[in-house]
A and B are shown apart, each in its own frame.
Chain A
Amino acid sequence: MTFLRGRAELGVAAFLALVGVVVLVDGLGLPTVSAAADPVGTRPMPLVVGTMLLVCAVFLAVDVVRGGRGEVEGGEDVDLDHPSDWRTVGLLLVAFVANIVLIDRLGFVISGAILFWGSCFALGSRHLVRDPLISVALSLGTFYGFYSGLGIHLPAGVLQGVL
């Protein structure tokens, strides 16, 4: 276990290897027929890409074991001195998944407002009146803007007829 500590990047190598295997297996399942008009066929590209991913995975694993580290990305609002805040990320993901599940059932306006308000909440905003108001206004405004401005009809869902 001590070997794995600080070597979370090995997970990236595993992920690359997994994608590589999937690409290779899928590629090997393709038919080999080659016509005169298409002497290359569909197989070579997946085989090359899959192999490349596997080779990259091996090199990355070797690099990490030897102490190599990817350079973590910075940014204006990023403070890398603190450990990752998984609670915020988790709550954001909950809000996002709720949006996916609800958008076709309750409609865009409700699911979008839930997404925005949920994200604000996850990121630490606790204005109990202002946040929901902004969420609903943004969601409604977008719905009508897309409807009349762009001719894109976002789903109205349960509010069909009301909007």
Chain B
Amino acid sequence: MDLGPLMEGFATAATPMNLLYATIGVILGTAVGVLPGIGPAMTVALLLPVTYSLPPTSALIMFAGVYYGGMYGGSTTSILLNTPGESSSVVTAIEGNLMAKRGRAAQALATAAIGSFVAGTIGTALLVACAPIVTKFAVSMGAPDYFAVMLLALLAVSAVLGSSRLRGFCSLGLGLAIGLIGLDRVSGQPRLTFGQAELADGIDIVVVAVAIFALGEALWVAAHLRRKAAQIIPVGQPWMGREDWKRSWKPWLRGTAYGFPFGALPAGGAEIPTFLSYITEKRLSKHRDEFGKGAIEGVAGPEAANNASAAGTLVPMLSLGLPTNATAAIMLAALTGFGIQPGPLLFQKEPQLVWGLIASLFIGNALLLLLNLPLAPAWAKLLQIPRPYLYAGILFFASLGAYAVNLQSFDLVLLLVFGLVGFMMRRFGLPILPLIIGVIIGPRIERQLRTALSVAGGDVSTLWSEPLAVGIYVIIAVLLLWPLLVRLLRRNPRRPRFKDA
């Protein structure tokens, strides 16, 4: 394998300025990740406007730091508070909090931090190996193939994740509708602009993301704020004894093996691999009796899976321009904001940016380990921030972020409208991710369809003229018909269950 580009990437990432941005990203990401109620996606969304004045490479390097840092910080919160904010750290919280309650918080944090480092580093190495191969393949894909891949991404995100497929599709529909707003890029026809000049350019994805993630979340939490602060378990310097190392390293590796491929799949996400890792470790552990009381394997495995899946997410993001989770979606929006077209040509057109980003992931991972082991007690203090200041701060920075993009108060009105939509979605259990993915992919899938049919002179059969596209349509059919198949295979057909759950 040719490691030359990676070395050049390190040269890009290791300039003092970019190292500084990586460090800022890692610190901001961890700090904000530790704060309750703020996940990596919201952090990146809030920081997006700030980076518009940076060079794109530096901005992306900072985002990468924020992304990994946010995941680190999230595990600290879930271990010390037992009320995980991210769905991906639910599993870590189970055994992690039990360990903390038994006085083993230091070991739980240590195995999470070191496991994240191991998984993140292996995952990034796999990214280096996989992404160019996928790219090489992707360059030969035509518009019909892309149309099929994007359709798969949209449907998979809506149908697989979350507890209700129906509500996933409701959310997707709203996202696609938001994506329609503005002048059509081919014909210049205005769609859903209602004569408003401000809507002609479409709705800035920053405004939608900040509204749904930050404003919607803050309003939702405000409506249900805990009267009594949750109990925080005090913690000292994280460390692990010899026995802990012996029990941790295999779960780290197995967790990585689960996490990476799931992260790379459309709608694979982190929830399934963390859960798989948990049940695997429970089955394989020599200390099975400790599960349910705080077993270190139950923290090491899922936490590694979580981080490896984050690295896996970057494979489709960089090689196909396809976001598979919310943070990747916002990073892609950032790329577009810099005038860079995401897609298979990214590696050819922007080698400095892509390899600089990948190299900075290695650097960021090492920085995180160095920062997190000694600073864990300081991060834990962040959990005590008075909640009024925390959520007032989120509102303040959300409106600042939305306003700073175009300096027009109309964006704040949009922010409020979509913030209320975000509130409604949380109240009624509509998943957020399909909406965000719909806003981003909607316009692009339409463009692929129109390109495909324009090349073929309007012949619809072009859509299934390529073997890859046909294969993907088969996968989509299985995905959509899955609940039906399960029902047919069930032996007891007398009790039809309409409820999709």
Contacts and interface: CB of A to CB of B under 8 A. Distances in A.
Contacts of B222: 85, 88-89, 92, 122-123
Main secondary structure of the interface of B (DSSP, over half): helix
Nearest to B459: A39
A79 B404 CA distance: 33
B395 A70 contact: no
B224 A84 contact: yes
User: Which among A116, A122, A146 has the highest number of chain B CB atoms within 10 Å?
Assistant: A116
A103 B402 CA distance: 13
A26 B454 contact: no
B400 A75 contact: no
A31 B174 contact: no
A72 B426 contact: yes
Given A45-B180, A73-B426, A154-B407, 10 more contacts: A15-B424, A20-B177, A39-B450, A42-B191, A46-B180, A49-B180, A53-B174, A70-B167, A88-B225, A119-B392
**How many of chain A's residues touch chain B, expressed as a range?**
35 or more
Contacts of B400: 112, 142
A22 B173 CA distance: 13
A97 interface: yes
B396 interface: yes
Interface in A84-132: 84-86, 88-89, 92-93, 95-97, 99-100, 103-104, 108, 112, 115-117, 119-120, 122-125
Contacts of A31: 189
Given A9-B428, A92-B219, A99-B399, A39 B225 contact: no
Contacts, number: 232
Contacts of A108: 403
Contacts of B192: 22-23, 26, 46
17 contacts: A15-B424, A38-B454, A40-B449, A53-B173, A63-B500, A72-B426, A73-B427, A76-B83, A82-B224, A96-B416, A97-B416, A103-B412, A115-B396, A116-B395, A119-B391, A125-B392, A146-B404
Contacts of B177: 19-20, 23, 49-50, 53
Given A84-B224, A119-B388, A120-B388, A76 B53 contact: no
Nearest to B184: A42
A30 B189 contact: yes
Nearest to B446: A45
B413 interface: yes
A159 interface: no
Contacts of B446: 45
A42 B193 CA distance: 14
B430 A70 contact: yes
B413 A100 contact: yes
Nearest to B398: A96
Given A42-B186, A75-B36, A76-B84, A70 B428 contact: yes
A52 B169 contact: yes
A85 B387 CA distance: 15
Interface residues of B, number: 76
B500 A116 contact: no
B380 to A, nearest CB: 14
Given A20-B173, A63-B499, A72-B427, A79 B392 contact: no
A74 interface: yes
A77 B221 contact: yes
B170 interface: yes
Contact of B85 (A76, A84, A95, A99): A76
Interface of A: 8-9, 12, 15-16, 19-20, 22-23, 26-27, 30-31, 36-42, 45-46, 49-50, 52-53, 56-57, 59-60, 63, 66-80, 82, 84-86, 88-89, 92-93, 95-97, 99-100, 103-104, 108, 112, 115-117, 119-120, 122-125, 134, 138-139, 142, 146, 150-155
Interface string B204-248: 000000000000011111111111001000000000000000000
A37 to B, nearest CB: 6
B176 interface: yes
B164 interface: yes
Nearest to A22: B192
Nearest to A52: B173
Contacts of A27: 191
Contact of A77 (B170, B226, B395, B404): B226
A80 B224 CA distance: 6
Contacts of B416: 93, 96-97, 100
A138 B399 CA distance: 13
Contacts of A151: 53
B409 interface: yes
B133 interface: no
A11 B225 CA distance: 24
Interface in B435-489: 442, 446, 449-450, 453-454, 457-458
A73 B396 contact: no
Contact of A76 (B219, B230, B450): B230
B407 A49 contact: no
Residue of B166, B222, B412 contacting most chain A CB atoms (<10 Å): B222
Interface in B159-205: 163-164, 166-167, 169-170, 172-174, 176-177, 180, 184, 186-187, 189, 191-192
Contacts of A56: 166, 169-170, 173
B374 interface: no
A40 B453 contact: yes
A108 B403 CA distance: 10
Contacts of A120: 388-389, 392
Given A79-B224, A86-B223, A123-B222, A74 B50 contact: no
B386 interface: yes
Contacts of A104: 409
